[in-house]
Amino acid sequence: MEGLIKGLIHAALGEDDRDEERREERSRSSWAQVVSGEQDNDEPSGDRRHAYGQNQGNTEKQSYGRTEEWESGGSRPQKAVHERYERNEDSGRDDYNKGHWNRNDDEENNDGWQTVGKKPPKQPHKVQMNNWNEYKRPSSEQEYSDDVEPDVNLEPSEEELADLSRACNKLWELDLNRLVPGKDYEIDCGEGKKVYQKEDMAQGSLFSWLSKDIFRKPTFSRFCSLLDNYNPHEGHKEQVTSQELQEQAAFVEEISRTAPIKYLHKYLSSKGIVSGNYQDFKRMMTSLWFDLYGRGGTSSCSSAFEHVFVGEIKDRGEQEVSGFHNWLQFYLEEAKGRVDYQGYIFPRRRGQIPDSETQVLTIQFEWNGVLKSVSSTLIGVSPEFEIALYTLCFFMGGEDNQVQLGQYPVNIKCYRLGNKIGSAFPVAES
C-alpha cells in the first residue's frame, strides 16, 4: 500500500523512479569529486602538495617501497585491481590502466560511486622487487652476470674513433638489452601541446603496460634499486650510507660486463682519456656518476646520477622539476601515482607525431604536483646504454652533440659542473 501511495504521489508530481535515481547519481558524483580532490582540473591538489612537503620535510630519505612484495605469474595481461599497488598475479605485464581513461560515464567503481567528466587517478600497482633485496648482501656474496659474449665486436673502428655520431650509433647497436615496443612495453602518447600550455592533454598514463620480465634483467633491477637512495629536494644534503656505496659499486660492476660499457672503455682508453686497466676505469665511472657535488648553493646535495636519472626539485622561487630524464624512473613513479603524464610536446617539424613505437620522446608531466614543463627521454633503452652514451659525450663532445641513434637524429645535451656531469639528456631533432 505504501509503495502504491508513493507511486501516486510521484505520478501527481510528474516524476518517476528514474528521475529519483538520476538525482541520487548526480549527488553521488558531486560528493565523489569532493572526497577525491578532483573538484577542479585547472588547480593542482593542495592536499597532494602538502603531503609531499611533509614527506620530504624530514631529514630521512624517502624509501620507495623496498619492502613491497613482488608477485610472479603468467604472460597474459590483466587489468589492475583498485587497491594500492595491487596487481593480478597471473599477469605477465605490469598493466595498471592500459593507458586509457574509461569514457563510459555510467560505469561505476568498486564502491558504486561515479566520477563524471574528470580524469581519474592512475591505478598504482606492485612492481616485482624481490631480487633487489639480494643486492643488500655483502659484496663477497654478490652474484653478477657473465661478461658479454666474446663474438660481439667491441673494437671501435677508425671511422667511429673519428666521428662521435658513429660511435654513439655503435652504442645503440650494442644495446643488447634494449626493449622492443609492442613486445616488451606499450606507451600511449596522448595528445600534443606547446611547452607553455598548462592543459592536461593525456587522458591516461604514458605507459600502458610493461613486461615484468624486464625487472629480472640484472642491470635493470640493480639500476632500480638505486632510485630510492636520494632525497629529491635540490638543496638537501645527501647522507650516503655504506649500503648505498655497495649498491653503487655493484651497479657499476654489473654494467661493466655489458657490451656498451666495454666498448666505451675501449674507445676512451684508445684516446688516452682513461686507463687501460679495467678496474681503474670502473672506479672512475663510479666517481663520475655517484660522487656528490654542490648544486643550488648547497654542498654535497647532488650527483650526476641523481640529477639525470632520478630527478630533483628546485625549491628556490617557484618549485620546478629539474633532471629526471630516465624512462624507468618515470615508469615506476607513474605506477606509484607520483607522476601525472600531461602529453607530448609538439615536434618542431609537422608530420613527426610520436606514436607507440617512438623511442625518443619529449613530454610534459607533474612529479608529486610539481611541473616539468618539458623533458626528453629515451624510451626502452638499457641503463648501461644511457650511462655509456652520456659518458662518451661528456668526454668526447661539447654541450651540443648531434648524433644518430638508429633511426633517430638526436642532440645529446651535456652540461658540465667542473669535471663532473651537471646534466645530460637527449633532444629529438626534426
Q: What is the CA radius of gyration of the chain?
A: 25
List the catalytic residue out of 122, 125, 233, 372. 372
217 flagged as catalytic: no
**Alpha-carbon distance 236 to 297, whole Å?**
10
pLDDT > 50? residue 335: yes
Task: Please compute the mean of the pLDDT values over residues 340-347 and round it to a whole number.
Answer: 92
Nearest to 65 by CA among 86, 44, 82, 91: 86
Least confident piece of the model among 324-328, 340-344, 350-354: 350-354
Q: Report which of residues 29 and 394 the model is more confident about.
A: 394
In this predicted structure, which of 163-172, 309-318, 382-391 has the lowest mean pLDDT? 309-318
Q: Is the pLDDT of residue 430 over 70?
A: no
What 3-state class would DSSP assign to 132? helix
Q: Among 325, 336, 413, 420, which one carries the catalytic annotation?
A: 325
Question: Helices 383-396 and 259-270, interaxial angle, to 10°?
Answer: 10
Task: Supply 215's cell numbers.
Answer: 625487472
CA 31 to chain CA centroid, Å, is 33
Among residues 98, 125, 126, 307, the one annotated as catalytic is 307
Is pLDDT at 155 greater than 50 in this prediction?
yes
2-11, 182-191, 367-376: the lowest-pLDDT one: 2-11
Residue 307: active-site member: yes
Q: Where are the domains of the chain?
A: 133-428
pTM of the model: 0.73
Task: Examine the residue annotation and report whether 372 is marked as an active-site residue of this protein.
Answer: yes
Q: How far is CA 412 from CA 316, 323, 378, in A?
A: 27, 14, 11
Other beta carbons less than 10 A from residue 217's beta carbon: 16
